[in-house]
Chain A
Amino acid sequence: MTLVEVMMAVAVFGIILAFTSQMTTTSNRISGDNFNRVMMMELAQAEMERVKAGGVYGTHGEIEYPPGGSEQKFYITYNRDDTEPLYVIMQIVVGPVPAAPGPLSADNPDNYVLVSYIPPVL
């Protein structure tokens, strides 16, 4: 067996190891990311329901998930558009807790954005 043949065998073995390792890492990352996304989505919807029901809200701050529990912390930002006299457009942005407190950007792909039209009273 020549040195080239040994090196080729080692390379193939390395490719197999790298491939399986990459699959595991990707699977792990997707799973964790999906669950975070689900939590952020539920949190945004829960807050939108609370606001529509007349709940008090601020501009931005930390928030717990599940609501009323304390398992995990996220950050939330409330933006409202009052330009129309008859209705309000409410935007809620939920994302990971930032290093420095401040409103979350709706353009950041790490954040979940929920916008809802709040109709006029009939």
Chain B
Amino acid sequence: MKYKLTDNRGFTLLEMIMTVAVLGIFFGVVYGFLNFNLRFMNQRGGEQDYQLQGRIAMQRLENLLREYQSIKITGFDVQVDQDSPVNLVNFNQNTTNIAGYRYFFFWDSARGVGELRNGSGATVARGILSISFVDEPAEGVIRVAVKSVPPGNPADPGQTLSTRLRKGRSYNPL
């Protein structure tokens, strides 16, 4: 094939406008598609983040309560069950008495969502909507539930993690 290297006629204005228009449509489609995918991936990233926060809160609570031979629930306190009970977790969202607790539930009323904080007040897990401990005396266990939601969206269904922990670790039924 022979190219005419001496052909220097260039392009007409109409050709340039058509080219720019076609390129505009092409890049518009590409941008729209990429933007949709990126938004979707960001949304997924956010979901993974609040799911991770829920897991962190649950793991911290489980690890703490497994350290003790016997635990019980009194009101909104999870305590070491002994002659002089020791407070471990305060899961009352309206409390201001946090002294001596290993973990407590801090409620941020402005955002409508809470945090799990440790005894020194540092945030352990954020985006926590509720923490609950329910005694199941017939089973000899305490049911623990942690619900986490995306930041800034407390109305989201979120994620609920739930498990059970033995109240006494010295008893073997088998």
Partners in one complex: yes
A residues near B (Cβ < 8 Å) are 13, 16-17, 20-21, 23-24, 27-28, 31, 34-35, 38-39, 42-43, 45-47, 49-50, 52-55, 65-69, 71, 87-88, 118-121
Instruction: Return the contact of B173 from the options A16, A54, A71 (Cβ within 8 A).
Output: A54
Q: List 27 A-B contacts (CB under 8 A).
A: A16-B34, A23-B37, A23-B41, A24-B40, A28-B40, A28-B44, A31-B48, A38-B51, A42-B58, A43-B163, A45-B62, A46-B163, A49-B165, A50-B140, A52-B166, A53-B140, A53-B173, A54-B139, A65-B162, A66-B160, A66-B161, A66-B162, A67-B164, A68-B162, A69-B160, A87-B174, A121-B172
A sample of 18 more A-B contacts (CB under 8 A), given A42-B163, A53-B166, A54-B140, is A13-B30, A20-B34, A23-B41, A27-B41, A27-B44, A31-B47, A38-B55, A38-B161, A49-B141, A50-B141, A54-B171, A65-B162, A66-B160, A66-B161, A67-B162, A67-B163, A68-B143, A120-B172
B38's nearest neighbour on chain A, judged by CB, is A20
| Residue numbers in A under 8 Å from B159 (CB-CB) | 35
Minimum C-beta distance from B52 to chain A (A): 10
| Residue numbers in A under 8 Å from B163 (CB-CB) | 42-43, 45-46, 49, 67
Minimum C-beta distance from A2 to chain B (A): 10
B21-35 interface bits toward A, Cβ cutoff 8 Å, 1 = contact, 0 = none: 000001000100110
Number of A-B contacts (CB under 8 A): 94
| Residue numbers in B under 8 Å from A31 (CB-CB) | 44, 47-48
| Residue numbers in A under 8 Å from B173 (CB-CB) | 52-54
Is B167 on the interface with A (CB-CB < 8 A)? yes
Contact A24 B139 (CB under 8 A): no
| Residue numbers in B under 8 Å from A27 (CB-CB) | 40-41, 44
Is B98 on the interface with A (CB-CB < 8 A)? no
Is B151 on the interface with A (CB-CB < 8 A)? no
Minimum C-beta distance from B16 to chain A (A): 15
Is B145 on the interface with A (CB-CB < 8 A)? yes
Q: How far is the CA of A27 from the CA of B167 in the complex (A)?
A: 39
Q: How far is the CA of A13 from the CA of B139 in the complex (A)?
A: 60
